[in-house]
Amino acid sequence: MNTFKTFFLMVVLTVILVGLGGVIGGKSGAMIAFAVAFVMNFVSYWFCDKIVLRMYSAREITENEAPQLYGLVASLAGRDGLPMPRVYIIENDSPNAFATGRDPEHSVVAVTTGILRILTREELEGVLAHELSHVKHRDILIQSVAATLAGAITMIANWARFAAFFGGGHSDDDEGGNIFTVIIFSVIAAFAAMLIQLAISRSREYLADDGGARLCGNPLYLAGALRKLTAGVERHPMSDANPSTAPLFIVNPLNAGGILSLFSTHPPIEERIRRLEDMAYRR
């Protein structure tokens, strides 16, 4: 069901983008919007791993440098029939982890030094299993495309409002909508794109929690890790984290609380833990 919902939401994002282009510039505008999305997705597909690793100054490590971390990744990948990912460490006190790469053959698992300090071996295994579940189901590609489409919609919507205010609009349907139509639709499109991106990200997190719990063999490993990570991020939020990369991390690195949690890229941590505990008790 989550997979179908994800596919449906991706289609809706594409329709919103093309529709926004059509409102702004008619048929030609729709084609331009589609071309922009294609180019951005092409770049995201081929270079998403390099971009995010460089963004966080991640350093690739060997088995000799971090034998426990490397060994856990190798063991879990072999257990799930996955190629061995490259393993990276990020020098940051904020405890977190993410996976990236366009497919299992080009995957990367990255962890912060903060997460290595606070988790037990079993909890770290749960976190790594969660990330490898993302790799197995190609969630990184899905989330990258969703982020790219949502980013393109927001960018075009902002440009459209600016152009409408200062450049007027057209009434001819083939040339796009009038100024009021452009402004209203651009605002709605940007907000809808954000909500859809959040829904996709949350759906994939639930699936990765489920897959990771099954891979490591004990859902409570991951549940315990999530508790510690949430508390750790509250103490040491990743202040230099880019909001566009937040969906990659196992917990939100920006520590969005209060009303902002409604717009978090991650499901409520309490709900994630409850689901994992229910899995453990049903065994």
**Two structure tokens written together for 143:** 């989330």
Give residues with Cβ within 8 angstroms of 154, minimum separation 6. Answer: 190, 193, 194
Alpha helices by DSSP H, listed for the chain, are 2-55, 67-79, 113-118, 121-136, 139-167, 179-216, 219-235, 269-282
Give residues with Cβ within 8 angstroms of 225, minimum separation 6. Answer: 119, 123, 124, 126, 127
What does the alpha-carbon distance between residue 9 and residue 16 come to, in Å, rounded to a whole number?
10
**Two structure tokens written together for 224:** 């315990």
Which residues pair with residue 88 across a beta bridge?
60, 110
Out of 60, 131, 175, 205, which one is annotated catalytic? 131
- Do residues 96 and 117 lie in contact, with contact meaning Cβ atoms separated by under 8 Å? no
What does the alpha-carbon distance between residue 184 and residue 161 come to, in Å, rounded to a whole number?
9
Report the amino acid identity of residue 262: L
Give residues with Cβ within 8 angstroms of 190, minimum separation 6. Answer: 153, 154, 157, 158
Reply yes or no on whether 131 is catalytic.
yes
What does the alpha-carbon distance between residue 80 and residue 206 come to, in Å, rounded to a whole number?
18
Q: Read out DSSP for 177-229?
A: --HHHHHHHHHHHHHHHHHHHHHHHHHHHHHHHHHHHHHHS-HHHHHHHHHHH
Q: Which residues are catalytic?
A: 131
